[in-house]
């Protein structure tokens, strides 16, 4: 299983999206994402003022989550336990990690999933297998 980080999903909101990411997604049609990423995307959209731009992003989000990332992995008890370990380890190492990134990493570990992200450095040494679609 491959799980797309928020930056991979967000790339599809760009006009035009990076061709490398599109090619990677075409080659990996079963890529999913997490409920955390869905929340991050919708939070960004909901902060926009009402208008055509926001309406356009809502339409894109509905299409993106339906067409590209139909498999949305939920946050469960095992991921919550792993989140605690990840945040504690990062704190001890003096390596900051956002709550969202720690949650996404924990879901990937709990599901034994590969993480697709551009932010390789953030997730290095957490025990994850990582792929960077921008370098594919």
CB 62 within 8 A of CB 13: no
Phi, psi of 114 (to 5 degrees): -80, 140
Structure token digits, residue 13: 């909101």
Flag whether 101 is marked binding.
yes
DSSP for 39-53, please give it: HHHHHHHHTSPSSHH
Output the CA angle 29-45-58, nearest 5 degrees: 60
**Nearest of 41, 55, 48, 40 to residue 98 by alpha carbon:** 40
Annotated binding site: 5, 101
Annotated binding site for Mg(2+): 5, 101
């Amino acid at each position: 299983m491959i799980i797309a980080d928020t930056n991979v999903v967000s790339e599809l909101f760009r006009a035009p999206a990076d061709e490398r990411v599109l090619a990677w997604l075409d080659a990996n049609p079963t890529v999913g994402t997490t409920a955390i990423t869905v929340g991050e995307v919708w939070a960004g959209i909901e902060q926009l003022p009402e208008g055509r731009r926001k309406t356009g992003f809502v339409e894109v989000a509905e299409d993106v989550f339906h067409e590209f990332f139909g498999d949305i992995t939920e946050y469960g008890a095992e991921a919550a336990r792993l989140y605690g370990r990840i945040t504690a380890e990062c704190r001890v190492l003096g390596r900051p990690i956002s709550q969202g990134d720690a949650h996404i990493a924990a879901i990937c570990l709990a599901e034994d999933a590969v993480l697709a992200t551009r932010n390789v450095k953030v997730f290095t040494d957490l025990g994850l297998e990582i792929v960077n679609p921008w370098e594919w």
